[in-house]
């Protein structure tokens, strides 16, 4: 089960990597996003193990679903950070401040509603739903703390400024056409053309 859980975790993180790269279009923000998602996953697993649970089949399914839940909050802040550059905000501190101001309340509201809905699962008699509710509640707490504290701090310190790390710039660089050379041959040709034009004007 541990090997299957590792494979499923790596596969989910790979999918999350692609989603983060598409939504943010920035390599640096994508790396920070995946690191934060891994932090959320590691924190939740640490709490689950401290409760005395073993990573069995039910826990593996719940933790794989956890990756999808933890992506949501971090992706929203990362997208807002990158979108701030399109509005003329280029420094990492100002972009982080604007992303936090625009997304902090929606993320906190989403975490609260998800946490409240998971509380209902404690009244179920099936073990899977009880464990799933516990993992969802723990993941919401960890995701909220990491996204609004740790991830925001990473962006304010290590976040890209201007268009650094933007994959659209790499596309523009690759599509650039080489400029004409301005060596001695080109300058001599221009001198000859100017002389011919002067001779034609003198003849007229």
Here the CATH number for the domain that contains residue 163 is 1.20.1640.10
Residue 67 reports pLDDT greater than 90: no
The 3-class SS string of 155-196 reads: HHHHCCCCCCCEHHHHHHHHCCCCCCCCCHHHHHHHHHHHHH
Q: Is 129 part of any domain?
A: yes
Residue 202 reports pLDDT greater than 60: yes
Q: Is 38 part of any domain?
A: yes
Average pLDDT over residues 171-200: 52
Out of 52-56, 124-128, 173-177, 188-192, the most confident range is 124-128
Q: Is 203 part of any domain?
A: no
CB 115 within 8 Å of CB 93: no
CB 73 within 8 Å of CB 107: yes
Q: Report yes or no on whether pTM surpasses 0.85.
A: no
Residue 177 reports pLDDT greater than 50: no
Q: How many domains does the chain have?
A: 1
Q: Is 58 part of any domain?
A: yes
CB 71 within 8 Å of CB 36: no
CB 96 within 8 Å of CB 81: yes
Average pLDDT over residues 124-138: 84
Q: Is 20 part of any domain?
A: yes
Q: How far apart are CA 202 and CA 204, in angstroms?
A: 5
Q: Note down the domain range covering 43.
A: 2-168
Q: Is 63 part of any domain?
A: yes
């Amino acid at each position: 089960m541990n090997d299957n859980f590792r494979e499923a975790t790596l596969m989910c993180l790979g999918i999350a990597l692609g989603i983060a790269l598409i939504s943010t279009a920035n390599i640096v923000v994508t790396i920070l996003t995946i690191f934060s998602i891994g932090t959320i996953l590691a924190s939740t697993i640490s709490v689950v193990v401290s409760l005395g649970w073993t990573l069995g089949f039910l826990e593996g399914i719940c933790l794989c679903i956890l990756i999808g839940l933890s992506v949501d909050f971090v992706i929203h802040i990362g997208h807002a950070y990158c979108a701030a550059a399109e509005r003329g905000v280029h420094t990492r501190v100002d972009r982080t401040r604007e992303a936090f101001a625009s997304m902090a309340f929606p993320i906190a509201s989403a975490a609260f509603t998800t946490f409240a809905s998971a509380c209902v699962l404690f009244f179920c008699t099936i073990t899977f739903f009880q464990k799933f509710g516990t993992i969802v509640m723990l993941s919401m707490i960890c995701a909220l703390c990491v996204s609004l504290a740790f991830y925001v701090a990473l962006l304010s310190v290590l976040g890209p400024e201007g268009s650094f790390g933007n994959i659209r710039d790499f596309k523009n660089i690759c599509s650039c056409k080489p400029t004409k050379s301005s060596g001695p041959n080109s300058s001599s040709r221009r001198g000859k053309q100017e002389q011919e034009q002067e001779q034609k004007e003198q003849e007229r």
